[in-house]
Amino acid sequence: MTESGKVATVSLEGKTASLPVHSGTLGPDVLDIRKITADLGVFTFDPGYGETASCTSKITFIDGDKGVLLHRGYPIAQLAEQATFTEVAYLLLNGELPTSTEHDSFVETLKSHTLLHEQIRNFFNGFRRDAHPMAILCGTVGALSAFYSDANDISNAASRNLSAVRLIAKLPTIAAWAYKYTQGEAFIYPRNDLTYAENFLSMMFAHPSEPYKVNPILARAMDRILILHADHEQNASTSTVRMAGSTGANPFACVAAGIAALWGPAHGGANEAVLKMLAKIGSKENIPEFIAQVKDKNSGVRLMGFGHRVYKNFDPRAKIMQATCHEVLGELGIKDDPLLDLAVDLEKIAIHDEYFVKRSLYPNVDFYSGIILKAMGIPTSMFTVLFALARTTGWISQWKEMIEEPGQRISRPRQLYTGSPERDFVPLAKRG
């Protein structure tokens, strides 16, 4: 953040405040309002913080109008098409892409931390078998702090780095075991001869009774899904991680808080909502009627998986996910799944329908990722878990950046109070 040299002057009831204007590398300038209360005696009002920069960050930049998403300056399309998830994880954590030697060392370090403490294995037995996998994930990640007390020393750089590695390495194991537990199947331990994505698929679908061979097309698809969900600037869950972290809480607790925020259907459950929408449509013959209902503002029917709160153009992640989706469907030879056929037809109609084109309601990353995950045999209850698995890298990178920021302060939003004014207490006997 740099001083632009510009100053905005705001006057209110005879008082004047001079607000410095700061410039970032990219994006609009921001007004520094930190002295507005002292100078004018007022707070600012911004529900949802949609117009407020809550921090400085060097990790991710989004220009929603232009459909741009950069990680440390690199376009998401280049990363998804040419890099691996572990390269992107290193980039988010350290600011630069790794050299071959650095990447090999990073991958080996991750592999040395994929195993869970055996007592954590017993921890799973405390959950009901019909528990939602997100409940298991949230509880187990939070419980990691009970096993790694060194994580409490957040002032120590080595401790922060070790916590970051532990989280990125162990999330696939916890996520896969959450699925296995709900299915009543045996836990599969990590394999160090596999890549990050391959290892996760192995722990999800392998069985002790027979060998499991990872399909390279599916592994690459999973790797791309992880890359495309790794970080997305200051969204609800990332802001939650930062807010929890500002209190000095240990990183496992902070990421557990992020998982809880991601669990909400308005955030991490969007791809699951796509499949529910498709199931409700039922068949290709019902698409025209459904489209008509979507266009009718009074119907209350929404087109899930199209458009995005941030992107007013095509979601840059969706283009890669679209190609990946068709690769997966082709590899698996899926031609007779009614739900997937329905999704393909709906995609074709919406892309060319003038109503949706005018409103920039293009398919987003959630539309395609839900189709891919279903095709791969991953149940809808695991969709948000997969999201959390990918986003953990972004969360812990954002957490580290925040902790290492000079002058970092505890988060403390203000409010516009609309309750009763001060009043006197009335004893119970006199309240009628």
CATH number of the structural domain spanning residue 44 = 2.20.28.60
Structural domain for 20, as ranges: 2-53
Residue 308 among the catalytic residues = yes
- Do 98 and 164 share a domain, yes or no? yes
Structure tokens at 249: 């809480």
From the candidates 223, 231, 315, 366, give the one annotated as an active-site residue: 366
Model pLDDT, residue 220: 96
Contact 255, 141 (CB under 8 A): yes
Model pLDDT, residue 164: 97
Structure tokens at 273: 């909502």
In a domain, 188, yes or no: yes
Percentage above 70 pLDDT, the chain: 96
All residues at 6 or more sequence positions from 369 whose CB lies less than 8 Å from its CB, including other chains: 225, 228, 229, 271, 321, 383
Total domains in the chain come to: 2
- Do 299 and 325 share a domain, yes or no? yes
In a domain, 317, yes or no: yes
- Do 72 and 48 share a domain, yes or no? no
Model pLDDT, residue 316: 82
- Do 234 and 286 share a domain, yes or no? yes
In a domain, 59, yes or no: no
Contact 127, 135 (CB under 8 A): yes
Contact 291, 349 (CB under 8 A): yes
| Nearest to 134, CA basis, from 420, 368, 389 | 389
Q: What does the alpha-carbon distance between residue 261 and residue 237 come to, in Å, rounded to a whole number?
A: 5
What tens-digit pLDDT sequence spans the chain (432 residues)? 455 578 888 888 888 888 889 899 998 898 888 888 888 888 888 888 888 888 899 999 999 888 899 999 999 999 999 999 999 999 999 999 999 999 999 999 999 999 999 999 999 999 999 999 999 999 999 999 999 988 889 999 999 999 999 999 999 999 999 999 999 999 999 999 999 999 999 999 999 999 999 999 999 999 999 999 999 999 999 999 999 999 999 999 999 999 999 998 778 777 777 888 888 898 888 998 998 998 988 888 888 877 766 656 667 888 888 889 889 988 988 776 677 678 778 878 877 888 887 887 777 777 788 888 988 999 989 999 999 999 999 999 999 999 999 988 999 999 999 999 999 999 999 998
CATH number of the structural domain spanning residue 333 = 1.10.580.10
Q: How far is CA 297 from CA 41, 303, 361, in A?
A: 42, 12, 15
Looking at residue 64, the DSSP 8-state letter turns out to be T
Structure tokens at 402: 């925040």
- Do 28 and 121 share a domain, yes or no? no
In a domain, 77, yes or no: yes
Q: What does the alpha-carbon distance between residue 287 and residue 212 come to, in Å, rounded to a whole number?
A: 39
All residues at 6 or more sequence positions from 172 whose CB lies less than 8 Å from its CB, including other chains: 114, 190, 196, 199, 200, 203, 389
| Nearest to 165, CA basis, from 400, 372, 421, 322 | 400
Residue 150 among the catalytic residues = no
- Do 36 and 92 share a domain, yes or no? no
From the candidates 153, 308, 337, 341, give the one annotated as an active-site residue: 308
| Nearest to 328, CA basis, from 313, 315, 314, 343 | 343
- Do 128 and 189 share a domain, yes or no? yes
Place of tokens 């459909």: 67
In a domain, 58, yes or no: no
Model pLDDT, residue 310: 66
- Do 22 and 78 share a domain, yes or no? no
- Do 48 and 71 share a domain, yes or no? no
Structure tokens at 41: 């005696």
| Plot region of 317 (φ>0 → left; ψ -120 to 50 → alpha; else → beta) | alpha
Query: What are the φ and ψ backbone dihedral angles of 61, each rounded to 5 degrees?
Result: -130, 135
Q: Which residues pair with 71 in a beta bridge?
A: 60, 74
In a domain, 17, yes or no: yes
Place of tokens 């009628």: 432
Strand 30-31 and strand 60-63: pairing?
unpaired
- Do 21 and 134 share a domain, yes or no? no
Model pLDDT, residue 4: 57
| Nearest to 331, CA basis, from 366, 377, 287 | 377
- Do 26 and 132 share a domain, yes or no? no
Place of tokens 């930062």: 242
Contact 224, 390 (CB under 8 A): no
| Residue where a domain stops, chosen among 11, 30, 53 | 53
Structure tokens at 207: 């069985």
3-state secondary structure of 12: strand
- Do 36 and 185 share a domain, yes or no? no
In a domain, 367, yes or no: yes
In a domain, 86, yes or no: yes
